[in-house]
Amino acid sequence: MRAQEVEERLRDIFATVLELNANEVAPELRPESCAKWDSLRHIHLVNAIDEEFGVSLDFAQQMELTSFGKTVEIVYSAISRQP
């Protein structure tokens, strides 16, 4: 899967979970800049990512999801390591 496809699918997930328009989901989107990105929605993001991509992010990876841009990097890396 290409990085661009991962980013597009993640953008849809973030828009749905955080109740945003897809065009509001930019690499610099962070919990500090999005009032709806609280701890509960962070868990929902992780679950939606796991389900969408068939990955299981470990706790350390989950805690590194500190921005949309960083999430794209982490998820793409996790997918690339799958057999």
Q: What is the pLDDT along the chain (83 residues), one digit of tens a residue?
A: 899 999 999 999 999 999 999 999 999 999 999 999 999 999 999 999 999 999 999 999 999 999 999 999 999 999 988 76
Three-state SS for 57? Answer: coil
Out of 3.40.640.10, 1.20.1600.10, 3.60.40.10, 1.10.1200.10, the CATH code matching 3-80 is 1.10.1200.10
Locate the domains of the chain by residue range.
3-80
Residue 37 CB-density burial (10 A; 0-12 exposed, 13-18 middle, 19+ buried) = buried
The whole-number pLDDT of residue 17 equals: 98
Q: What is the pLDDT of residue 81?
A: 84
The predicted pLDDT at position 11 comes to: 98
Angle formed by the axes of helices 68-80 and 3-18, nearest 10°: 130
Residue 1 has a pLDDT of 84
